[in-house]
Structure 1
């Protein structure tokens, strides 16, 4: 008789605690949902306006529910809209970004892997000082390098050229790729490298047979990091190229700052989404590998 009220009291307290946990969890989820909506609202506006005709945007404003659906702005942004003095859309600028980003990503990743391998497993006098100097590039803003790069590109004859941008991004990216790969390769046991040396393996053979097979996690991190950073960068593209040679990010800046009296918000929204597709594709395809690589020693 005495146990029954006590058990009922315990059961009531358990139910109350469960309700409190449920209520606190609901508040947290509501809080996160509100912030996620606020964060995604600009993207939703851009996506909606890319499918809305310009007269509708002018009549109802930028932020309103679509009344109709049209793909004409995408075709105009891709192939016919006037950007930076040329009326060929952003198609050429999109291809320029591909021609710039893909080789710059590959070259900077390969050089970063070699630098990380040397600085972690083939130590020499001054290696730590050299590594410290290289990592200074991680914290150096790009504006500092504008004048030196202008001089170098002028001497090499690479001004207003996609190849000049490739050179810039390869060199500018070495600080990050070296940092990532060096910190990852430090975790490879030194005894493994010493055993390979005793067996007669040299620098390149150890790199090909031992280091590279262990490198996919960090190489995926580096490729995603470099591709996204180079594709989205616009400072060097705006300063060192013009017209048909500009990457798509610089073309978007030109599109946004053009002196037109009537703003083509539908075309601008479509151009922004076209420019965002490659980084988004890279993220969706390799996002889980990026996180996995970070947790395995990419950043320490």
Structure 2
């Protein structure tokens, strides 16, 4: 392991991980491995069911397919390396660290804006149901999908360019379990004020713009639902949004708690717990939220299984 060095050309970093206790590390390995397997099965299963069932070939499930893809990729960027570090060396190369940071920011930002696209889809479905097929055309769906990926890539590219300007001349020990911006900034021996401001602007604008977009959509949705006279109509309208709202609340709650605060308030233990939640746990929860609370998905699973059973007979 590399100790302290007076060198700006750091070839690699040491991730302190989540615990020094061997018993705790083994227990965390087993827990995270189980969560990762459920994440893989849940998100791949969601993608497969939507692909195989023609009744789910709608804009809502088109976006949900990509949400599952992003969650799967998001978890894969962090979890396998975390699992390896829990059992073996905690080292990560300089390039490996910045590659992990790039894809983490890219996928996180893309998910923020994809959730906004999904909120707009629900707004059109509830507020303009008769015009829904016309408004949510294939070209608009592709635009609402491409936008989050492009914005996420640009956000991540600028973030990593600024972070690559850092000098590391004192220690290469990162007090975290993956390469996130706050612990890397804390490790630098140069004045990071300008970089912190830029990253804060990027993170803040990503979270706030997407959150404001979603909030505006749901204010319109709520206003429309309240105008519905029948109780059953209100319940049906609410049911189409509850899964998305629950997923958004969990995702944004932990992201805002972690990133929209000054570096001086950075707390290793508290921020690591939040980071575990949004990098490892949430990608597992999303397919469960959207499947267990969605009758259409559950019915689609039954139809797919029946077709496979019939074809086997």
Asked if TM exceeds 0.5, the reply is: no
CA radius of gyration, larger in: 1
- TM-score w.r.t. the length of structure 2 is 0.31
- TM-score w.r.t. the length of structure 1 is 0.32
